Amino acid sequence: MVQPKIKRAQTTTVEPVLEVSYGARFSKIPLRVKRLLAWGGEVAFLAVSALGPFHLGVMVDGRSAAEPVPLNPVLLQTQDAIARTFFLPKQTLVKTVAPLTNLLWSVALAAPICLTGVHLYGLAKTGQNWPKRWLGLRVTTPEGTPPGLQRVIRRELLGRWGAPVGIAYLLWCWSGAFPRLGILSILSLLALLMEGLSSQLQRRQRAFHDFLADTRVVDARSRIGPERHWSPTGRYSSPGYPEGGHGIRSLDRPLDNGGGGDAEYSLIWTEESGGLTSIVLAPRAMTPPGHFNSRRSRRFGLMLGGVALVGLLGLAGVLGWVLTHRQQRIHEQEWGVRNDRVFLALVEMLASTASPQAIEHRTAILALASSEDPRAIALVADILAQTSHQEVMEAVQQALVTIGPEALPALKRLNQTLLNDQAALQPAGTSGQGSQYRTIALRQYMVKRAIAKILTLYSDQLHSVDLRRTDLGQVKTGVSQYRLVLDQTHLVGIQFRGARLSGASFRKGRFFGAGEDARPGTYDDWIADLSGADLKETDFTDADLNLAVMQRSSLLRATFHRANLMQANLTGANLSGARLIGANLKQAILNDASLTGGDLTDADVSHALLQGARLGRVSAVGAVFQNANLSQSNWQNADLTDADLSGANLQSANLTGARLKYVDLSDANLQAARLRGSNLTAVNLQGANLAETDFQDAIFYPSGFVMSRDQFIQAILDSEETHQFEGVDFSQAINLDDDQLTYICAQGGLHPACRGR
């Protein structure tokens, strides 16, 4: 047997022991606990870096007096991507913020990205990031080296976070919990915990992400070396877990036998505190001759066969696609040639017809609509823009309706063109009865009818139709008398911004749809936009306007009986004289809106926002305003009899001359509110904030008590006490006269003047 030669460099050189000082204070904590603490530290770093600047930006935005600016484009795109991913409602998205908030939110976006990059870089280069370094942990490969960037990406982004959160997200989307984000958070947390606890299922404590990246987590104070070492007892030991405190090292490579070949032995040595104690030559496992080459040949053959099979299948697929595509192109060319011939024949028929009113002319127009040629839309619309014959206009209108929703863009352009022509031909103060004006008005009438018919017939296919600035308003006189009637029609998602819809009827119409996911309150909801539209005297009785956008719209004398306006945005809208009897306005936004002279009888306006709204002379008998924000609103001479304003915010509101009989104002905030001359008979003020509330000439008692002063006081004292104001604090209220104080004290109210009465 050939004796191996051992060179001095190989026999006397001992690999240095790597000692790490980090994590010494945590040396007695079990490895699994330290791994959990490190994971918590990583999550905490990322959470603080993102949520800290974000919440600070929210606070700044709420208190800043600076003029709002548009949201940063990067933040806008990020916000939109997040809303799409988590199906957040579009109306919750932020468009304008304070300038400083823009900066803070940009930091909240960039900080976690930079921190993640630093963490990944540290793990790739040294196997440690900040939490792992503090706790004395290190991520290594089986050979004891740092994992590198590729392994770290597989370990962290795919194994630790991507797979668990992705599985939780899919379960959430496919379950009944969608679209509640709280359930998604719980599912994600459970998935992350299960992935982390997977390390406890086997002895070496390798989690799923460690198996995926072929890494391990060891104590950074242990020796760094190959994963397996031969011990004198004949067992393999891990360098992270030395046996009995002994340092067992292995020169895990064949020794030179002096003849240029590989030896059959490996060099093993053992270290103790006193130094090197023993050197052992351990036999290496012999590989049978030809075994490696034959197995490699078989693998190479299988790989070559697989590549050949995949190549053949790919080639067959490409050939099939080419043949199919070629056949389709030939068919399309033949169909296009036939359509060209039909289209040219119909155009020739239109040109050769002697009289535009002839039956052949109208037949050709209707045939163009059925030709399915995209050029027909523009041609038919041009005919309507030029003809002055009513019979031809009728034929063109029918042709455009036959074409369907594809004709709406052309009709919209024609509508706006004719509107401008009408304005040019009808100067202010004239009746506009000239022949040219009447012809244009008749064309506009036909356009309006065509649009209305398409909206009626194809209502389920119009989720993204753009009819902005289109004139569909009512015409009461002349040859073009018209009123838009779309009762019980689905108008979900249609854009009516700046459109003229005065006098229209949308009874039982639907302006809100749940979108393709059939779940309301998500990103893909179909929401009609009527911002800035002219909706004077429009009838929305029993209509579904949930989440509808009607900012700055003109809704003078509009009718909303029993309409659903829940969460609708009516900021700055003019609802003067509007009738909203029994309407649902829960959580609606009516800031700076005008409802002067409107009727809100039995309407539900709870949790709505009416800050700065104008509600003078409004009738709101029996209406519900629970927890609504009515600060700085104006209710002069309004009738709120039997209304529920419990918990409402009426700070600095003007209720001068308002009728508040039997109104529930319990727990309401009436700080600095003006109740001058208001009727507060039988009002409930339990728990209300009356600091600086102005009660000048307010009426607390029934009209039967109005008599001479002496008789009044005696009547109050002799009357049965109802304790109406029991415990109500009037001590900070202002402008209370003696008669009012006498009644307040008799009813159990609290005021410094009551002590001597």
In the three-class reduction of DSSP (H, G, I as helix; E, B as strand; rest coil), residue 520 is classed as coil
Asked if 178 and 253 sit in the same domain, the reply is no
pTM above 0.95, yes or no: no
Asked if 171 and 99 sit in the same domain, the reply is yes
Q: Please check the confidence at residue 425 and state whether its pLDDT lies above 60.
A: yes
Asked if 140 and 237 sit in the same domain, the reply is no
Task: Give CA–CA dist 74/54, Å, rounded.
Answer: 15
| Boundary of a domain, candidates 219, 248, 271 | 219
Measured between alpha carbons, how far is residue 204 from residues 210, 215, 628 in Å? 11, 11, 60
Asked if 236 and 165 sit in the same domain, the reply is no
Name every residue whose Cβ is closer than 8 Å to that of residue 366 and which is 6 or more positions away in sequence: 395, 398, 399, 402
pLDDT of amino acid 447: 93
Task: Give CA–CA dist 559/540, Å, rounded.
Answer: 6
pLDDT in tens, 631-658: 999 999 999 999 999 999 999 999 999 9
Helix or strand run (H / E) with residue 265: strand 265-272
pLDDT band at 588 (very low <50, low <70, confident <90, very high): very high
DSSP 49-74: HHHHHHHHHHHHHHH--SPPEEPPHH
Asked if 45 and 194 sit in the same domain, the reply is yes
Identify which of 457, 539, 524, 449 has the alpha carbon closest to the alpha carbon of residue 493: 524
Q: Please check the confidence at residue 715 and state whether its pLDDT lies above 60.
A: no
User: How many domains in the chain?
Assistant: 2
Q: Please check the confidence at residue 3 and state whether its pLDDT lies above 90.
A: no
Residue 43 lies in a domain: yes
| Boundary of a domain, candidates 175, 201, 219 | 219
pLDDT of amino acid 488: 92
pLDDT of amino acid 363: 79
Task: Give CA–CA dist 438/99, Å, rounded.
Answer: 53
Q: Considering only 363-377, 421-435, 516-530, which range has the smallest mean pLDDT? A: 421-435
Asked if 33 and 167 sit in the same domain, the reply is yes
Question: Averaged over 617-625, what is the pLDDT?
Answer: 95
pLDDT of amino acid 756: 61
pLDDT of amino acid 453: 93
Asked if 54 and 181 sit in the same domain, the reply is yes
Residue type, 447: V
User: Is 248:231 a contact under the CB 8 Å cutoff?
Assistant: yes
pLDDT of amino acid 368: 79
Q: How many CB atoms lie within 10 A of CB 351?
A: 9
Asked if 55 and 137 sit in the same domain, the reply is yes
Q: Please check the confidence at residue 230 and state whether its pLDDT lies above 50.
A: no
- Give the chain's mean pLDDT: 80
Give, in degrees to the nearest 5, the angle at Cα 224 between 220 and 230.
130
Residue 700 lies in a domain: no
| Boundary of a domain, candidates 219, 239, 268 | 219
pLDDT band at 107 (very low <50, low <70, confident <90, very high): very high
pLDDT in tens, 650-684: 999 999 999 999 999 999 999 999 999 999 998 99
For residue 154, which phi and psi values (nearest 5 degrees)?
Answer: -65, -40
Long-range contacts: 322-331, Cβ < 8 Å, 24+?
Answer: none
User: Is 129:41 a contact under the CB 8 Å cutoff?
Assistant: no
- Using a pLDDT cut of 90, give the percent of the chain over it: 35
Identify which of 540, 535, 537, 527 has the alpha carbon closest to the alpha carbon of residue 552: 535
Residue of 40 and 595 predicted with greater confidence: 595
pLDDT band at 352 (very low <50, low <70, confident <90, very high): low
Residue 105 lies in a domain: yes
pLDDT band at 296 (very low <50, low <70, confident <90, very high): low
Asked if 215 and 228 sit in the same domain, the reply is no
Q: Please check the confidence at residue 458 and state whether its pLDDT lies above 70.
A: yes
- Name the range with the highest mean pLDDT among 159-163, 459-463, 695-699: 695-699
Q: Considering only 361-370, 436-445, 563-572, 746-755, which range has the smallest mean pLDDT? A: 361-370
Question: Averaged over 213-235, what is the pLDDT?
Answer: 59
Task: Give CA–CA dist 679/635, Å, rounded.
Answer: 13
Asked if 120 and 188 sit in the same domain, the reply is yes
Q: Please check the confidence at residue 45 and state whether its pLDDT lies above 50.
A: yes
Identify which of 151, 266, 155, 210 has the alpha carbon closest to the alpha carbon of residue 31: 210
Question: Averaged over 601-621, what is the pLDDT?
Answer: 95
Measured between alpha carbons, how far is residue 89 from residues 96, 99, 520 in Å? 17, 24, 9
Residue 400 lies in a domain: no
pLDDT band at 336 (very low <50, low <70, confident <90, very high): low
pLDDT of amino acid 530: 94
Task: Give CA–CA dist 592/631, Å, rounded.
Answer: 11
Residue 35 lies in a domain: yes
Task: Give CA–CA dist 385/440, Å, rounded.
Answer: 8
Pairing of strands 526-527, 512-513: antiparallel
pLDDT band at 289 (very low <50, low <70, confident <90, very high): very low
Asked if 123 and 239 sit in the same domain, the reply is no
Q: Treating both helix axes as pointing N-terminal to C-terminal, what angle do 390-403 and 375-386 enclose, rounded to 10 degrees? A: 160
Identify which of 462, 501, 504, 469 has the alpha carbon closest to the alpha carbon of residue 487: 504
Q: Please check the confidence at residue 507 and state whether its pLDDT lies above 50.
A: yes
pLDDT in tens, 55-70: 999 898 878 777 888 8
Determine the structural domain holding residue 270 and report its residue range.
224-283
Percent helix, percent strand, percent coil in the chain, to nearest 5:
45, 10, 45
Asked if 162 and 246 sit in the same domain, the reply is no
HEC string of 396-463 equals: HHHHHHHHCHHHHHHHHHHHHHHHHHHHHHCCCCCCCCCHHHHHHHHHHHHHHHHHHHHHHHCHHHCC
pLDDT of amino acid 674: 95
Residue 383 lies in a domain: no
pLDDT of amino acid 346: 65
pLDDT in tens, 28-37: 788 878 888 8
b/e code 619-645 from CB counts within 10 Å (16+ = b): bbbbbbbbbbbbbbbbbbebbbbbbbb
Q: Please check the confidence at residue 332 and state whether its pLDDT lies above 90.
A: no
pLDDT in tens, 252-270: 444 444 444 444 444 444 4
Residue of 52 and 22 predicted with greater confidence: 52
Residue 113 lies in a domain: yes
Residue 683 lies in a domain: no
Beta strands in 457-545 (DSSP E): 512-513, 526-527
